[in-house]
Chains A and B, each alone.
Chain A
């Protein structure tokens, strides 16, 4: 089936099979390598490594049919920095020491981006909820929460 969608702001047109997932298409056809997978065929542990934003909302790309992208906009980590300038979340993750092995980092940043774009603030509860669908085996989550809080404070987000 022919699909048309925007990927990180650019128009994309391609053919996809009904059984292909959005993950398959992004990784294998469009060279988007930032999206990771825990290769959980037949199950899902909500690890979040395959997270992408679909019209700004975080979803798991491994479990989403590719054809669902038709007419929509997809954002991956590659779409965050503009002209060499880092997105505030990317800077915050670096400064807060929130990156260790880095495998979970793309999914975490996207989940956080959706949270901030949706008006999320620097409150611990909201931030924890934002990354509840993302697993990290290295950091214990503390510095990831810290990074998101810093970015939220910097962008002045959150409800009064």
Chain B
């Protein structure tokens, strides 16, 4: 059963403004995050990391540390056998032989309190033979460059995300105008309120339990077990309230494995929690990008060719950030209608930080490059940037060269709305020192097939009192999935919303499998699972009611908790009463109401040439930014952002707006503020006060717009939108600055000094 039958109906709760499911606990201060968790006898773990970005590890002497009072265990690679982590299995949780970054984990201590653990680290004596570091991805590929993983004989990572469709060279020949540019994005930290960590212990049955703020508990369970060399069914993952994640917690990291190993050895609970500076210095970062973009168009404004060459600095170990390139592929081949496309990637090992996916997983980086270049192309064509985008916009029911099957698509509407609401009157018309810029996005809206299964399981139980419990494998990280699930189930069953309790986070072993909260897939995939389970439960109730009321099930409906006949008003009964009759008054035919569903979206893993429809649906949007620039200082003030999104039907308006507003804020951070500065692979602005996060003073007027139609595959027509709002902010602002001052900044963040220098160059 798909949602298309449900389209066009009046809804009782879908689309209404409701409180977030867990808001009450949070405003009462009762939510418990990893920060707040403690257990009796708990030890605290700290990790000793490398003093050098690149060095041979000659010896580690932890004997003094082990003898310190209050220190219960010290481990190095010699003491525990841990299998390598990562897609390429290139990351040993505890290093030996050599270190490849200043984050490399050399030893770990479990002690009675964090201060003792830190002191013990100081007592560990490590002898290094420093090696020359390589911190530039281009230099890393030159002959003679120091090798990060010597056994590979090269710094080039054996991952190729390149692809090509159509004859790109011929297309460029045909083009009347070709514009080329190189664009760069920076190292960024996720920095949610919750820092990284884990609290692990082994229970009486020998099961390894881990409290952690992972966004992918079932993958965490698998990869943790694999690294520890224990069966995964003896690992139990429990998620507390999570204070944001933004993609940082989609993996198992060395500190996770180390914490678990210490718990297994000491047989006591062990907690490791990063402080803010430990996080800024050691947590994986957003994937930086260097992209050379070349696009060609014919004089009438039609895009004919696009070529992107991307360099991805993987750091010392390949993390999920490198796979941002998979997302970049779909934008390179599918953002706007381009018949001939080529994408080439070079992934490089250096001694820099490793990377993780961060909200939009590559799309904010690549869209900055492509949409900046689009604007430059429009200018060269002498075409209005809005008209240029409309002409080439994606359309519904089309297939991109890479095989993405676009079903619903309201990109043209999003562009028109953005232009209208920002007050677009053409280039250079925004006023003195003011400019308006546009950018669009094309992103997955129903999963991204990052794993062999992209599904989610849900269970719905309706008890004898009418209480509805829905359990989903998905993860709530603050985005509001809990509320969407509650709305979907209440609507599907026809019962009041407050009857529905949602089991999300908590003990993953009590929930059905889900690949994880990412790729804007929560409402779509988990929502569909919950919807199907709820409809099954509804069917069971109506079957039971049919026998009780003497009416065929097709004649019955549940409205506001009352089961009634559509044709005979005298036939009706409260749903909980029906259930009690089914259960207690049916003798040997007694039944309870419980349903489960595993929803696997109808998408496909890409083939060996990267071709495939990777998502069940796609989201589109357009942003317009109005900025004012102080030409004397280069300071940019964002006055207004219009953010128009095709997210299908909006199920949870507060959630939708919250995601857009929060995403725009994060986008402003990426565009203007945030940057981790590195020196020889080490983060130098590693204290929270040096890292510029968007504050209330940075937020402009934000106009949130919903366009488009209900999606045929999404639950009640919804599509994912969680990442969309982050994507276009950077290029929209870059384009707005160009509109205001005629200078174009091609590397993020767009700082006042960069603008000041560009203006000075212009004058010369």
Binds A, one of B399-407, B476-484, B534-542: B476-484
Q: Which residue of B lies closest to A35 (CB)?
A: B29
Show 9 residue pairs from A and B whose CB-CB distance is below 8 angstroms, ordered by the A residue: A90-B27, A94-B19, A97-B17, A97-B657, A99-B20, A101-B477, A102-B243, A137-B246, A137-B662
Q: Which residues of A have CB within 8 Å of B276?
A: 38-41, 43, 45
Complex contact B29–A33 (CB within 8 A): yes
- In addition to A34-B28, A40-B687, A43-B689, 6 A-B residue pairs with Cβ atoms within 8 Å of each other are A45-B687, A45-B691, A77-B27, A94-B23, A99-B20, A101-B242
Q: Which residue of A lies closest to B479 (CB)?
A: A100
Q: Which residues of B have CB within 8 Å of A142?
A: 657, 661, 699, 702
- Given contacts A81-B28, A101-B242, A39 and B662 within 8 Å (CB-CB): no
Partner pick for B27 among A40, A109, A131, A134, CB 8 A cutoff: A109
Decide yes or no whether A55 CB sits under 8 A from chain B: no
- Given contacts A97-B17, A100-B662, A105-B26, A39 and B191 within 8 Å (CB-CB): no
**Contact residues of B: prevailing secondary structure:** loop
Least Cβ–Cβ distance between A104 and chain B, in angstroms: 6
Partner pick for B29 among A40, A76, A100, A101, CB 8 A cutoff: A76
Q: Which residues of B have CB within 8 Å of A140?
A: 658, 661-666, 694, 699, 702
Complex contact A143–B657 (CB within 8 A): yes
Least Cβ–Cβ distance between A139 and chain B, in angstroms: 5
Complex contact B193–A103 (CB within 8 A): yes
Complex contact A101–B277 (CB within 8 A): no
Q: Which residues of B have CB within 8 Å of A96?
A: 654
Interface pairs A-B: 3 shortest CB-CB = A34-B29, A101-B478, A103-B193
When chains A and B are docked, how far (Å) is the Cα of A25 from the Cα of B722? 38
Decide yes or no whether A42 CB sits under 8 A from chain B: yes
Decide yes or no whether B452 CB sits under 8 A from chain A: no
Decide yes or no whether A47 CB sits under 8 A from chain B: yes
When chains A and B are docked, how far (Å) is the Cα of A49 from the Cα of B195? 13
When chains A and B are docked, how far (Å) is the Cα of A44 from the Cα of B654? 32
Report the tally of A-B residue pairs with Cβ distances under 8 A. Answer: 167
Q: Which residues of A have CB within 8 Å of B665?
A: 139-141
When chains A and B are docked, how far (Å) is the Cα of A5 from the Cα of B191? 35
Decide yes or no whether A123 CB sits under 8 A from chain B: no
Decide yes or no whether A93 CB sits under 8 A from chain B: yes
Binds A, one of B31-39, B54-62, B417-425, B632-640: B31-39
When chains A and B are docked, how far (Å) is the Cα of A39 from the Cα of B242? 16
Q: Which residues of B have CB within 8 Å of A132?
A: 695-697
Least Cβ–Cβ distance between B641 and chain A, in angstroms: 10
Partner pick for A101 among B28, B243, B694, B696, CB 8 A cutoff: B243
- Given contacts A101-B478, A132-B695, A39 and B29 within 8 Å (CB-CB): no
Least Cβ–Cβ distance between A9 and chain B, in angstroms: 15
When chains A and B are docked, how far (Å) is the Cα of A121 from the Cα of B699? 20
Q: Which residues of B have CB within 8 Å of A120?
A: none
Q: Which residues of B have CB within 8 Å of A138?
A: 192, 244, 478, 658, 662
Decide yes or no whether B474 CB sits under 8 A from chain A: no
Q: Which residue of A lies closest to B35 (CB)?
A: A36
Decide yes or no whether A95 CB sits under 8 A from chain B: yes
Complex contact A99–B26 (CB within 8 A): yes
Complex contact B27–A39 (CB within 8 A): no
Complex contact B244–A41 (CB within 8 A): no
Q: Which residue of A lies closest to B691 (CB)?
A: A45
Complex contact B193–A40 (CB within 8 A): no
When chains A and B are docked, how far (Å) is the Cα of A131 from the Cα of B274? 26
Decide yes or no whether A13 CB sits under 8 A from chain B: no
- Given contacts A47-B688, A97-B657, A100-B20, A40 and B275 within 8 Å (CB-CB): yes
Decide yes or no whether A37 CB sits under 8 A from chain B: yes
Least Cβ–Cβ distance between A30 and chain B, in angstroms: 13
When chains A and B are docked, how far (Å) is the Cα of A39 from the Cα of B477? 20
Decide yes or no whether B194 CB sits under 8 A from chain A: yes
When chains A and B are docked, how far (Å) is the Cα of A93 from the Cα of B28? 11
When chains A and B are docked, how far (Å) is the Cα of A36 from the Cα of B195? 12
Decide yes or no whether A74 CB sits under 8 A from chain B: no
Q: Which residues of A have CB within 8 Å of B68?
A: none
Decide yes or no whether A154 CB sits under 8 A from chain B: no
The contact string, 1 if C-beta is below 8 Å from chain A, for chain B 3-46, is 00000000000000101101111111111110110000000000
When chains A and B are docked, how far (Å) is the Cα of A90 from the Cα of B658? 18
When chains A and B are docked, how far (Å) is the Cα of A139 from the Cα of B246? 13
Decide yes or no whether A57 CB sits under 8 A from chain B: no
When chains A and B are docked, how far (Å) is the Cα of A147 from the Cα of B749? 31
Decide yes or no whether B273 CB sits under 8 A from chain A: yes
Q: Name, among A38, A41, A46, A96, the residue most crowded by chain B CB atoms within 10 Å (CB to CB).
A: A38
When chains A and B are docked, how far (Å) is the Cα of A97 from the Cα of B26? 12
Q: Which residue of A lies closest to B704 (CB)?
A: A142
Decide yes or no whether A66 CB sits under 8 A from chain B: no
Q: Which residues of B have CB within 8 Å of A81?
A: 28
Complex contact B688–A38 (CB within 8 A): yes
The contact string, 1 if C-beta is below 8 Å from chain B, for chain A 70-106, is 0000001110010000100010011111011111111
Q: Which residues of B have CB within 8 Å of A41?
A: 275-277
Decide yes or no whether B693 CB sits under 8 A from chain A: yes
Decide yes or no whether A22 CB sits under 8 A from chain B: no
Complex contact B658–A137 (CB within 8 A): no
Decide yes or no whether A128 CB sits under 8 A from chain B: yes
